[in-house]
Amino acid sequence: MTALANTHAMTAEQFRRLGEIIYQRSGIHFPETKKYVLESRLSHRLRELDIPDYDTYITFLSTGPYQNDEFQEMFNRITINEMSFFRNEPQLDVFESTVLPELLEARADIKRLRIWSAACSTGEEPFTIAMLIHRTLGVRLPDWHIEILGTDISEKALNTAMAGLYPDYAMRTTPELIRHRYFKKQDRLWKLDDTIESMVSFECHNLRDTLAAKRHGIWDVIFCRNVMTYFDIDMRKRVTGMFHSQLADDGYLFIGHSETLRDLGIPFESALIPEGFCHRKLIRKTTSL
Ligand SMILES: C[S@@+](CC[C@H](N)C(=O)[O-])C[C@H]1O[C@@H](n2cnc3c(N)ncnc32)[C@H](O)[C@@H]1O
């Protein structure tokens, strides 16, 4: 039997209802052209649960005691997690060689730096940031209070992050020197150095929840790469507006290299630094969420 024959058919109405549930819970927008994505990713889930069709699945997903767990499970299936350490190195070079020295100097009196990796999936991004800070500060590290928070909507992804064990695939963009310095092979996986692990904390957070974001206070740098691409314009505005309020006036925002803040009307300016880019907050206007 072919894979196609194994796929459960999803009607237009079922797609609309599922899309609505996903949008309401996460802000992720699936346009009609992406119906096949939901169909192909969820079909396997229906077989696992022995659920005959999408109507039954939607009921299972939206009522009863398992809705939250199932939403998490569904979410893991429908988002592509192509993570790796040192993803998009030119941007990380900008962080390490320009943004970090500037902020370390600006915070030299308080010796405190706060970095949020929003939608960090399985942790490669916040751990990469921790390694960059570790190698930059070196022996000065104990003098600083460095806070790195990784958040994601997927608890499963965060549990993987907290285990600190990664397959070869996650290491594919990791420079050899970093691999030697910060990882040890443990059976077939790579175990992250304990010091780096201890520099990062993780928490479940839905980017839709802009109030919960306020609880975390003000950040010096926010990374939110390769997630806005899933959101429609309303959600992008909402999330970017929240980042604007939660960033220090001299803070920086890093978004994915194929993402843009253009047309959102949120006052950020692009800080173009050779081969990489990030955004600086413009403070002459105020934003409302
Ligand atoms: C492609 S990964 C990006 C991971 C990392 N930022 C990077 O660039 O390597 C996208 C992540 O966004 C998370 N995500 C999607 N919608 C979210 C939401 N509303 N709130 C928080 N995280 C979300 C997914 O769970 C997934 O882990």
Q: What is the pLDDT along the chain (289 residues), one digit of tens a residue?
A: 344 445 678 999 999 999 999 998 888 888 888 888 889 889 989 999 999 999 999 998 888 766 778 888 888 788 766 789 999 888 999 999 999 999 999 999 999 999 999 999 999 999 999 999 999 999 999 999 999 999 998 888 899 999 999 999 999 999 999 999 999 999 999 999 999 999 999 999 999 999 999 999 999 999 999 999 889 999 999 999 999 999 999 999 999 988 889 889 999 988 866 666 889 988 754 444 4
The best mutation among 79, 216, 258 to test binding of ligand 1, ranked by most ligand atoms within 8 Å of the C-beta, falls on 79
How far, in Å, CA of 114 to CA of 251, rounded?
A: 10
Contact call for residues 126 and 205 (beta carbons, < 8 A): no
Question: In a mutational test of the pocket of ligand 1, which residue from 71, 85, 153 has the highest number of ligand atoms less than 8 Å from its CB?
Answer: 153
Please tell me if the CB atom of residue 25 comes closer than 6 angstroms to any atom of ligand 1. no
- In the structure encoding, which two tokens stand for residue 198, read together? 């201890």
d(CA 260, CA 233): 11
Entry pTM: 0.88
The rounded distance, in Å, linking the Cα atoms of 282 and 289 is 16
Residue 217 is classified by DSSP as: -
Residue 158 Cβ contacting ligand 1 at under 6 Å = no
Distance 87 CA to ligand 1 centre (A): 14
153 Cβ inside 6 Å of ligand 1 = yes
189-192 sheet: strands from edge to edge: 165-166, 189-192, 183-186
Structure tokens belonging to residue 96: 């390490």
Q: How far is the CA of 70 from the centre of ligand 1 (A)?
A: 17
CA 120 to chain centre: 3
| Alpha-carbon gap, residue 127 to 200, rounded angstroms | 7
Structure tokens at 23: 């949008």
Residue with tokens 């992406």: 34
Beta carbon of 27 within 6 Å of any ligand 1 atom: yes
